[in-house]
Amino acid sequence: MTNNQLLPIHDTETQDIFLCGYPRSGHTWFQYLVAGVAFGVDPEIAQDSLVQDLVPDVAYKTHYKRYGPVAFFKSHALPMTKYRRMVYLLRHGCDVMSSYYHFLTALRGHVDFLGLVQGKGLSPCHWHEHVDRWQANPHGAEILVIRYEDLKADTVRELRRFCAFAGLSRDEALLKQVAGQAEFAKAQARERRLGWDNKAWPREHAFIRRGEVGSFRDEMPAEVRAAFLQRAEKTLRRCGYGV
């Protein structure tokens, strides 16, 4: 189906691709990258409303339009039977929780960091539980794992992997162009200039905040890190992350 008919957000097809992972693992960045390589959008200047139309967030949008045989969605959900093709975005859990803490603080005004890693106010679950469930792949989905750290180190290479997975034939020049248009400093400038489609986000706080690999080392207090590692160390090691 390729038309302008509005469909319920959960009315999807088996060939559709879901960009899934734990919150604050790089999904918004990857949303813009997918809008660039799949639909020809310029991530540097695109309005968030356009990106949300092309690569909708299932937690934010109630309806969507199909623009081709394969639709792309952003999701933080745990495995479910209808998610047949997945790009799982994986990021070091300590960096994720540091980013999540700042995200929730911007929304709520005050968050207990220690309580957060212990489970207070987490959604949909603990970081390691989310990773473990998707690695178990209980419904036999087709999954491509893209690590945030690899996406930072070589965006073009990871876009090439994504295109092969999604069946998109794109030349190297386009991949380089989109990667450059979506780079971090430009994304920060776009946020300051255009903001977000979701007006609930407080404009005085940066949604695209820091994005560095290993930023937890100067953002996560020792007691918070210890509490997180108590639960997540096995998963971190299994994923090849140092602790």
pLDDT per residue as tens digits for the range 13-31: 999 999 999 999 999 999 9
pLDDT of 73-124, one tens digit each? 999 999 999 999 999 999 999 999 999 999 999 998 889 999 999 999 899 9
Read off the pTM.
0.95
Q: Return the domain boundaries, the chain.
A: 7-238
Three-state DSSP class for residue 145: strand
**CA 161 – CA 155 distance, rounded (Å):** 10
Strand order in the sheet with 72-75: 72-75, 17-21, 85-90, 142-147
Class of domain 7-238: alpha beta
pLDDT for 2: 53
